[in-house]
A = this chain, B = another copy of it.
Amino acid sequence: MQKRTTFVISDRTGLTAEALCHSLLSQFPSVQFDIENLPFIDTLEKAQDLVTTLNTLAEQNNQKPLVFATLVNDDIRKIIADGNVVFFDLFDTFIDPLEKELNIESSHSVGKSHGVLDFAQYSARMSAVNFAMTTDDGMETDHYARADVVVIGASRSGKTPTCLYLSLQFGIFAANYPLTAPDLENTEMPDALEPYRNKLFGLTIDPYRLQQIRQARFSGDTYASAQTCQFEVAQTEAIYRAAGVPYVNTTKKSVEEIGAYILHKASLRRKI
């Protein structure tokens, strides 16, 4: 199997570069990539130290490392790009054509995609996080009037991370409510949720995956049995269908995907 040492190099957090790098490299499943994220390379000295390491590595491995970079400063970028590396410039590649299209020069200041937020944005995010924490797991249902969305589903179907993600990433007020045994005796909407039908979004999950998750902590419990998991999943889906609640199957989705899907499908307005 081909192996390639790979570095993600950025003057900031490197989160964007890292995500794009993973996305690109996932297109080459037959190669084993050893990926390291090197954030905050924001001085000439750090760049020079780093390129020395990269050059040594290239010589040792007799192979140039792959470098995916988002470096705004021209001098820092040049130091790395001139090293003994295969350089993929995720940032500057697009700056030239953007300058031509917009007919103005770029500011060449360090990117703000994960940067300074204004106070309104900061507050929006904090409020949303606090709301998600306060209303987690069916607590404080009297706060639902302020919710943008109320995520419902069986226990361990992924409600909490989904709501935290919606709050952190988009500033969405996301409460969550577990559909537990008493709620699942019939397909009627629980009383606490009835007034908020238009804010509900359901999660469902493959019953075998649910069982796997529950058994990891509650092995042997009825709660973690195949029968219970199958019944609960079938019954939650029946409740969603009876009430016309939109829902998503979380089994093969990451939290990012579930969050982006709910935002999209429920036409929620992001606040950050």
* CB atoms of A30 and B260 under 8 A apart: no
The answer, yes or no, to whether A62 is at the interface (CB within 8 Å) is: no
* CB atoms of B125 and A255 under 8 A apart: yes
* CB atoms of A114 and B168 under 8 A apart: no
B-side contacts of A12, CB under 8 Å:
257, 260
The one of B14, B27, B216 that contacts A72, using a Cβ cutoff of 8 Å: B27
For A237-270 the 0/1 string (1 means CB < 8 A from B) is 0000000000000001111110111001000000
For A147-166 the 0/1 string (1 means CB < 8 A from B) is 00000000000101100110
* CB atoms of B22 and A19 under 8 A apart: no
The one of B93, B104, B158, B255 that contacts A30, using a Cβ cutoff of 8 Å: B104
Task: Name the residue on B nearest A164 (C-beta).
Answer: B164
Size class of the contact patch on chain A: 35 or more
* CB atoms of B254 and A27 under 8 A apart: no
Complexed CA–CA distance, A22 and B12 (Å): 14
* CB atoms of A257 and B23 under 8 A apart: no
B-side contacts of A4, CB under 8 Å:
102
* CB atoms of A104 and B161 under 8 A apart: no
How many copies are assembled?
2
B-side contacts of A86, CB under 8 Å:
101
* CB atoms of B254 and A117 under 8 A apart: yes
Which of the candidate stretches A53-61, A105-113, A227-235 sits at the interface with the other chain?
A: A105-113
Given contacts A16-B16, A29-B107, A161-B126, is CB(A98)–CB(B24) below 8 Å? Answer: yes
* CB atoms of B256 and A119 under 8 A apart: no
> Besides the contacts A23-B113, A168-B255, what 20 more A-B pairs have beta carbons closer than 8 Å?
A12-B257, A13-B256, A13-B260, A15-B169, A19-B19, A24-B95, A26-B111, A26-B115, A27-B72, A31-B104, A66-B101, A88-B97, A93-B93, A114-B260, A115-B257, A123-B213, A123-B216, A126-B161, A161-B168, A165-B168
**Complex A-B, nearest 10 residue pairs according to Cβ-Cβ distance, in ascending order:** A23-B113, A13-B260, A27-B106, A23-B111, A114-B256, A16-B19, A26-B112, A22-B113, A116-B252, A129-B161
A-B contact pairs, 18 of them (CB 8 A): A2-B102, A13-B260, A15-B19, A20-B113, A22-B112, A23-B91, A23-B113, A26-B111, A27-B107, A29-B107, A31-B102, A93-B93, A115-B254, A117-B254, A123-B213, A129-B160, A129-B161, A133-B160
